[in-house]
Chain A
Amino acid sequence: GESVGLHLPTLSVQEGDNSIINCAYSNSASDYFIWYKQESGKGPQFIIDIRSNMDKRQGQRVTVLLNKTVKHLSLQIAATQPGDSAVYFCAENIRNFNKFYFGSGTKLNVKP
């Protein structure tokens, strides 16, 4: 993966507001996508996934939207809480099941 510099883009939101985190993926052949959450000092943690035959998938407080036309993925977090503060990565699977490539990441900062 290409580096995007030493600082991840940051999204700051107020507690209780909705958050939208965006990701552009690179390969039109990708058929499976996952959003991961990484808290400081920890490994990435699965949030939600979506396959390329879907445009939208909902989980608990989270929704993932997939736009294959423009190769864009978004993660919506409803009623954002301080515990949601973390770095969020999208990951794409290119044909080879279980082999994932990660996007550049966004740091979410939730203000109480």
Chain B
Amino acid sequence: SAVISQKPSRDICQRGTSLTIQCQVDSQVTMMFWYRQQPGQSLTLIATANQGSEATYESGFVIDKFPISRPNLTFSTLTVSNMSPEDSSIYLCSVGGQANTGELFFGEGSRLTVL
């Protein structure tokens, strides 16, 4: 299994500001994923963070709003730009497990509240 650490664990942000969330994994992984979980709802995949290339975004998510970095095989960041109250969510970093299981491991998430 992989141990995933996210920072910050929670934050309260002002409208119009941007916040960067960090995700650190205790082992090298090929693919890292960022999910959003709005209050009382399920997880929605934002993008796949690819090492050495641009992130791949899902429908409805764009790089200008959610820029992602992946400088190496153990670290990624997600920035939530120009925040509005609708961006208040839990943002979760996840990584793939062993090739033969396909299991996703998740961090504890970063809970953002935008005022």
Contacts and interface: CB of A to CB of B under 8 A. Distances in A.
Interface residues of B, number: 27
Given A43-B107, A97-B102, A7 B44 contact: no
Given A1-B44, A102-B43, A102-B44, A43 B106 contact: yes
Contacts, number: 72
Given A99-B48, A100-B104, A102-B43, 9 more contacts: A8-B40, A44-B106, A46-B104, A89-B42, A93-B102, A97-B102, A99-B45, A100-B33, A102-B35
Interface of A: 1, 3-8, 32, 34, 41-46, 49, 89, 91, 93, 97-105
16 contacts: A6-B41, A7-B40, A34-B103, A43-B94, A44-B43, A44-B106, A45-B106, A49-B102, A89-B42, A97-B102, A99-B45, A101-B45, A102-B43, A102-B44, A103-B42, A105-B42
